[in-house]
Amino acid sequence: IQQTIIDGSSMEPNFHDQERAFMNVAVYKYFHAPQLGDVVVLIPPVEPSKMYVKRVMGRPGDTVEVKNEQVYVNGTPLKEPYISYPPQYTMAPVQVPPGQYFVLGDNRRNSNDSHFGWFVARDKIVAKVWLVIWPPSDWGVVPSQDLAKQLHSSALNTILSPLAQPVAAAGN
User: Which active-site residues does the annotation give?
Assistant: 10, 54
**Residues in Cβ contact with 117 at an 8 Å cutoff, skipping those fewer than 6 apart:** none
- What backbone torsions phi and psi does residue 2 show, to the nearest 5 degrees? -135, 165
Residue 29 near residue 127, CB atoms below 8 Å: no
Cα 67 from Cα 36, distance rounded (Å) = 19
Rounded to 5°, the CA angle 84-87-90 comes to: 170
